[in-house]
Structure 1
């Protein structure tokens, strides 16, 4: 038997040259030879532009075609080629406008008709698409055009027309699989399920080795609620080919639609263990379930077992990344971290995996895990500042200050940086230098940050406090801190810093005012603030209040016991003016 092939038509440039030669000329200034010389040159640029993706060449072609069009407006070919170029530029209105002119000048040219039809298909304008396909089958005897038209009739619910055209095609292409599919589609659309089933059953008889035919029949039976018959077809298909991945997944979908999740999972596992479906497709299926809130399977009892099948069958970091993403959504950060670690061990070159690993380890205070990969991460991704920042923070918490400073030159060399990223990184460096007693360098970095962002309240607060602790540049410290309490007058941390700077300047009564405000604004249980409060009280000669403040501080931080006990003893032995 002859077989009808469904062909997607590509419109060739050369087709436009098959233009009618008997259209009368209307005052052109070009000879025929000059016209075709310019047209040929334009076509050369168009071919080069399309082949190389070179829009410059296409623009040159457009100019030359428009020159040809203006010189000989009665010739259809330039309009057609201009339309093609505008289609490449994705300018659909202009493409359609020039295509329409080409068609009007030569309305029996099959390439022009097909070109217009393709534009309407892109626009999803089914009525206009059908109109031009009807024109097309009248000027061309290619069976693929009739086949496509039958499909379009069916899509437009013009089933009688589709069936008539299919019957005509069957006279020449009896036994064509594609024609059985159109008839099935038409009968299903006309709500004639017995006939729709008959066409698919015939397909199975004629093409018993094409297992997708079983799948289509089973799916259709399921759609019309004939579940028992559908199940029998699936069972027969899996008896013939038990490892068919698509068949197992389809049978799994069959059970999902009935809410039978356990049975669905059984067949999904078989489908995911098959080798005839790519890992990309399997991962895509799981992502679909993860992000489709209407799915009844977007929970760990379905997603995780299938993800585990992927991990068992592939040493592919993408399978681990999928598991990590699921656990992140579920806010199960320890499990997400474990999956990201597996992805890294499986050789992931995806920067996002490494960044997520560092950030989650940071967030969950598993700083040792960051330390173990920090050097490798920076070698693989030397230009990713977030690794320096968040990885560096973990190292800072581990007191691995030299490891942070080791990569300072590389981190500073990254350009361009967003302002906030640069500030975060410089702040980390300043803290690290302060921790290793490189105070001058630390101070210079804080000053560098303030040049970039003079209004940064956090940097102003921290830097001014460090200056006050060392008892230096107190005027500079007071100036920096003053803006913080102006901008945030109820911030307990900023109030305490400003009060402490005033204390270091010997302004005890003013200092008391701000530290008391800090306590009233939430710092009543902050041991450091209470320690400052005690120091101010002692300086004011109010020893009993100082002792009370220090004793309260010890309750909130017993690591201060030794230091504050000495202060308490001194206060008690001192003759204060209480």
Structure 2
């Protein structure tokens, strides 16, 4: 059908070779010209009415007398001038000239046609319709006039009228059978599928079998749930084009979509005989085998498809995204990782290949491998903030502080307004025992997070920790209070705030309330139990403290908790047991600097 494609586009441009030729019945072929950068304003409704009124009066007066040679020449001059302004997209001036031409010669079909076209372009569909109808009536053998009228109707969604115009055109104008394709498309747009099929059949009788017609008929049969006829059209396409593997693949896909799996496999394998490396055929087979629960064969075919550079990287990414939605899944984890590895090997210069591989490794729990892939993606394209963010998050999760600082500083050079990067940069400095630098980053990032209350609370919590380290206790307390204002159950704020208050021996009742709330919500968390026990210890509730420490020691061997337990035992008069716990804490490693004195003197130091 491609040889008739040029006629599917309505030809609106109408130029003339000379004034004398301009008003002959058959317009010349269209050409194009560059439009000015700034389009002039369209005529207002009032202006259009006035122009039409004046033209009608002039036309009525003109029809009382025959057209003189002078009037003919003037009309042609106005017409040519009007066409020029249409090409310049100055529709105001174009209509003014064309209506003057019409006033002098209202029965000229070309003038009516051009006025109709100009009104269509300027948005006046009613006048466009009237003048296009007049042009068709004045010259019923000119195909362009029918095409314009059909377009005007279609632009108003008056498809029945547009269909009527095409039908008349095909009947009235010789050698216009190729417009049957336009007519069929209109029927499809209206959902008149049987009429469209009949029109395509009529076209095939006139022009013979055409690939595009067979394809469209196939789509119509599918819409009508007539699978047999759709498949028959597919076979027609394959027979007519034995070397076109795309038609074979389309047929295989149709079989697969309708659960005709043996036929789908047969036709897909036929495609592979023609093109052994065709990845689409492999993908069809992989999908069919998956639906047949043949996992090994399905995996084999999809891996072969991924090995092909002909399968676009974007298609591979979309498939891997579908895998990610199903992960983690023991049955799919390894396949997804293998496909990601193939993608990076086949597309070593594509950042998105390494990015999606990093996502797969993240979801399946392989953080170091994920970071490696993300960093390769950044080497190829460092403009995507989300990838930098993933790298930084993994650094933090792996507690690799040097990497965290390096990567946040590199990312901040590119994205200085991203608050999360400042947050993790501050965390990195804090972990490196650089509280002053940490405060600088955290305070700056906090200013950028004012529109994100949740992130703001994280900044406040971290600032509470860091200001405590600097012994700026008032600022530390204020930061924790701000964090708890947003989220009263913020575990980190409740734990650290209450613990630091207990260390300072300040606001112990408040510390007890916060720590008790946290333990109630998390009764098995040894860190929170230790904090609550230490607050009770500072309140001299040694029995209560002992109870909390003993609960914590069921799940932890942390030296701090063991040492605290020894301290409370000493307070309870069990010095020998206290000494044993202190010795155990020292052996474990990580106890306080006072541990050696406690053991040496068998005495509690605080």
Same fold, TM exceeding 0.5? Answer: yes
Say which of 556, 561, 568 aligns to 1:558: 556
- Conservation of the 8 A alpha-carbon contact between 1:465 and 1:477: yes
- The 3 A distance-change label for structure 1 pair 457 and 309 is same
Distance 1:192 1:20, change over 3 A: closer
Q: 1:165 aligns with which of 120, 144, 169?
A: 169
Would you say 1:105 and 2:100 are equivalent positions?
yes
Q: Is the 8 A contact 1:114 1:136 kept in 2?
A: no
Q: Distance in 2 between matches of 1:389 and 1:186?
A: 53
Specify every segment of 5 or more residues in structure 2 that has no aligned partner in the other structure, as ranges. 24-31, 56-74, 103-107, 575-606
Contact 2:245 2:274 in 1 (8 A): yes
The answer to whether the aligner puts 1:405 opposite 2:405 as a matched pair is: yes
Q: In structure 2, how many angstroms separate the alpha carbons of the residues matched to 1:16 and 1:238?
A: 47
Deviations 1:452-493 (A, max 9, x none): 45772212212312444x472223212221222344334444
1:445 aligns with 2:445: no
RMSD between aligned alpha carbons? Answer: 5.5
CA contact (8 A) 1:113 1:135 kept: yes
Query: 1:525-546 CA distances to partner (integer Å, 9 max, x unpaired)?
Result: 3221211111122223332222
Conserved in 2, the CA contact under 8 Å of 1:184 and 1:197?
no
Identify if the C-alpha distance between structure 1 residues 245 and 197 changes in structure 2 by more than 3 Å, giving closer, same or farther.
same
> 1:8 maps to what in 2?
9
CA distance in 1, matches of 2:124, 2:336: 43
CA separation of 1:363/1:169 partners in 2, compared to 1, >3 Å: closer, same or farther? Answer: same
| Displacement of 1:553 | 1.6
1:202 aligns with 2:205: yes
The answer on 1:571 being equivalent to 2:574 is no
> Are 1:427 and 2:409 matched, yes or no?
no
Q: Please report how far the alpha carbon of residue 352 of structure 1 lies from its aligned counterpart in structure 2 after TM superposition.
A: 5.8
Q: Which residue does 2:315 correspond to in 1?
A: 319
1:538-557 paired onto structure 2 within 5 Å = 538-555=537-554, 557=555
Please tell me whether the aligned partners of residues 325 and 336 of structure 1 are also in contact (alpha carbons under 8 angstroms): no
Q: Secondary structure at the match of 1:379?
A: helix
Equivalences, count: 503
SS at match of 1:55: coil
**Following TM superposition, by how much is the alpha carbon of 1:432 offset from its aligned partner in structure 2, in angstroms?**
2.0
Structure-2 residue corresponding to 1:156: 160
Secondary structure of the corresponding residue to residue 544 of structure 1: helix
Query: Which residue does the alignment assign to 1:379?
Result: 379
Structure 1 unmatched runs, 5+: 23-45, 88-94, 290-296
Mapping 1:42-61, distance limit 5 Å: 50=35, 55=37
Q: Indicate the SS of the match to 1:324.
A: helix
- Compare CA radii of gyration and give the structure with the larger one: 2
Q: How do 1:33-44 and structure 2 match up within 5 A?
A: none
Shift of 1:326: 2.4
1:178-223: CA deviation from partner (whole Å, max 9, x where unpaired): 55885899899696799658536635xx646x44454455566666
Q: Deviations over 1:333-372 (max 9, x none)?
A: 8566665554444337666665555455445542212332
Give, in angstroms, the shift of residue 242 of structure 1. 4.0
Q: Distance in 2 between matches of 1:259 and 1:122?
A: 52
Distance 2:268 2:149 in 1: 37
CA contact (8 A) 1:464 1:477 kept: yes
